[in-house]
């Protein structure tokens, strides 16, 4: 009987190619069990996985267990604090022994710095604080020789603000 050839023609499953790379990458963050990263929702539960992610496992100098650092949004930290012992037990189930002795919660903002930036708009002036007509006329006279309309408007606004403050 002839050897039966598979129809994959030398192709491998993607998971077999990535397994060693995932393992190497997770070991650099202290995760000897990459399953903690890849199956976090199954380990910690859906509610906790939505608000927190494992970041690092650090081992103490004396070898008495490791610390799991978990990143969460600041508003969820008190809830996560109450669940630390349950999370520790579930994570140690993956390791098969009492590897994690402490869980450290690191709080972060809901958005990164670039996503949370805001555009500053000019503060609207109150209606009762309109400059006097003589202030407006003086500001226009000061910028009358400026040819660029945008620059002239900006200087006029500045002159109006300065003159209205000194007029008081």
Do 89 and 32 fall into the same domain?
yes
Within-domain flag for 75: yes
**3-state SS, residue 100:** strand
Mean pLDDT of the chain: 75
Do 99 and 152 fall into the same domain?
no
Locus of tokens 């620059």: 151
Higher pLDDT: 114 or 159? It is: 159
Percent of the chain with pLDDT over 70: 64
Within-domain flag for 59: yes
- pLDDT, mean of residues 131-152: 85
Do 64 and 139 fall into the same domain?
no
CA 146 and chain centroid, separation = 46
Do 63 and 97 fall into the same domain?
yes
Handedness of CA 123, 129, 133, 137 (dihedral sign): negative
CA 81 and chain centroid, separation = 20
Do 87 and 132 fall into the same domain?
no
Do 141 and 99 fall into the same domain?
no
Question: What pLDDT sits at residue 96?
Answer: 81
Higher pLDDT: 135 or 105? It is: 105
Do 104 and 22 fall into the same domain?
yes
For 85, half-sphere exposure in the C-beta direction (CA atoms, 13 angstrom radius) is: 1
Do 55 and 90 fall into the same domain?
yes
Within-domain flag for 119: no
- Give the CA distances from residue 111 to residues 52, 55, 56, 145, in Å, rounded to whole numbers and listed in that order: 14, 17, 20, 47
> How do residues 22-71 score in pLDDT, each as one tens digit?
555 544 544 555 677 778 888 888 998 888 888 888 777 766 778 888 88
User: The tokens of 89 are what?
Assistant: 């037990």
Look up the domain containing 74 and give its range. 15-108
**3-state SS, residue 9:** coil
Q: What is the pTM of this model?
A: 0.48
User: The tokens of 85 are what?
Assistant: 């012992």
Do 161 and 101 fall into the same domain?
no
Residue 57 belongs to domain with CATH number: 3.30.300
Handedness of CA 57, 51, 36, 100 (dihedral sign): positive
> What gap in Å lies between CA 162 and CA 168, rounded to an integer?
10
Within-domain flag for 116: no
């Amino acid at each position: 009987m002839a050897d039966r050839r598979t129809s994959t023609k030398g192709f491998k499953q993607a998971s077999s190619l990535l397994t060693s790379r995932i393992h190497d990458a997770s070991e650099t963050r202290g995760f000897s069990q990459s399953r903690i990263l890849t199956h976090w929702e199954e380990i910690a539960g859906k509610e906790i996985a939505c608000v927190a992610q494992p970041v690092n496992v650090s081992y103490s100098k004396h070898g008495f267990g490791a610390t799991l650092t978990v990143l969460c949004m600041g508003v969820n930290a008190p809830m996560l604090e109450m669940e630390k012992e349950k999370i520790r037990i579930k994570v140690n189930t993956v390791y098969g022994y009492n590897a994690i002795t402490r869980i450290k919660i690191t709080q972060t903002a809901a958005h990164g710095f670039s996503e949370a930036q805001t555009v500053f708009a000019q503060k609207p002036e109150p209606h009762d604080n309109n400059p006097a007509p003589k202030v407006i006329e003086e500001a226009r006279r000061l910028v009358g020789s400026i040819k660029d309309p945008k620059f002239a408007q900006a200087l006029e606004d500045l002159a109006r603000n300065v003159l209205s403050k000194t007029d008081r």
